[in-house]
Chains A and B, each alone.
Chain A
């Protein structure tokens, strides 16, 4: 993409930047300013040990996926902890908590994928999944379901579609 187009995409007014006053800016700008040591980052409200513990416990307790504080919780945690860990209190604990929550959710995702396949369901509803989570198992799951669908059409002889689709 040419640079001029990129500028067009990221258009908008930001600021005013006054020393000592908090201002809301996009993540990319915040990190850029932080790297040049022009600002101090204020972590989002949910990036807090107590809140994250609560989220983790709820995630462990419930069978379904609980809503996450941000659809990009993994990405944000990683970026902020990498570039601004000095501005975030208890950064290490937060890292562990988010990782725990992630692991719980992935285990849950696998469990539900397995029962989905086992019961030969045709459709399912998965709420509150983030893109990052979908991406890690997406290809695998869709491929497996594809195979299963074809094997299932074998059960009805004569009706199988003579398809050469790819």
Chain B
């Protein structure tokens, strides 16, 4: 039941964690923005026009990944401005403060917490509210994650995790492992020596290599 490797936790702050797979995937989530100055010949690079020579006029709307937005955003040279995705805007913040448990965070962007923390890089005047909402959301959803992960033994958990964001899913797995390890001990299976999951996966990987 032990994991083959130890996943690196996401950075969950203005800095992402270089070695976290979750953070790497999160950095390519799209972010709405606007071109603050004309960007000649860049339409193709930013995924807007078809031709290589097209330019982006000032003020046009953009949809760019987070890593690119972070690189282009510069408070002195105004190249692009970044807008808040709608779940971090005030309307949604009210929903979160009313009842965070009803929101399907996986659908709303599977990296709600990490992405929200990254948004603090863009000097938005609403930053304090965003940070506060993210924290409160985590706190109010904590109980349900804890209870469901520690009670669901030997059953299908896909319905339980469907509405959790990736960070919460990792947490859910940690809770499940605690429960499973305990049940394993109680049934007397803990004293039996089993093959490490690393060894088992190694065998599987070899077979798929041969196929491909």
Which residues of A does B touch, CB under 8 Å?
78, 82, 106, 110, 113-114, 117-118, 120, 132, 135-140, 143-144, 146-148, 150-155, 157, 160, 162-164, 166
Which residues of B does A touch, CB under 8 Å?
8-9, 11-15, 17-19, 113, 117, 120, 127-128, 131-132, 134-135, 138-140, 142-143, 145-147, 149-150, 167, 170-171, 174-175, 177-179, 181-182, 186, 188
In the complex with contacts A157-B127, A164-B18, A151-B120 CB distance below 8 A: no
Interchain CA distance A106-B150 in the complex, whole Å: 10
In the complex with contacts A138-B178, A164-B18, A166-B17, A154-B135 CB distance below 8 A: yes
Please give me the 5 A-B residue pairs with the lowest Cβ-Cβ distance, nearest first.
A150-B12, A140-B175, A154-B131, A151-B135, A140-B174
Of B139, B150, B179, B181, which one neighbours A120 at CB under 8 angstroms?
B139
Interchain CA distance A120-B136 in the complex, whole Å: 10
**Are B146 and A135 in touch, CB under 8 angstroms?**
no
Which chain B residues border A150 with CB–CB below 8 Å?
11-13, 117
Which chain A residues border B149 with CB–CB below 8 Å?
140
**Are A113 and B146 in touch, CB under 8 angstroms?**
yes
In the complex with contacts A144-B146, A160-B15, A151-B171 CB distance below 8 A: no
In the complex with contacts A114-B146, A154-B117, A164-B18, A148-B139 CB distance below 8 A: yes
- The dominant DSSP class at the B interface is helix
Chain A residue at minimum C-beta to C-beta distance from B188: A82
Interchain CA distance A78-B184 in the complex, whole Å: 13
Of B13, B17, B128, which one neighbours A160 at CB under 8 angstroms?
B13
Interchain CA distance A139-B8 in the complex, whole Å: 15
Distance in Å from the Cβ of B186 to the closest Cβ of chain A?
7
Which chain A residues border B138 with CB–CB below 8 Å?
147-148, 151
Chain A residue at minimum C-beta to C-beta distance from B178: A136
Interchain CA distance A120-B167 in the complex, whole Å: 19
Which chain B residues border A162 with CB–CB below 8 Å?
15
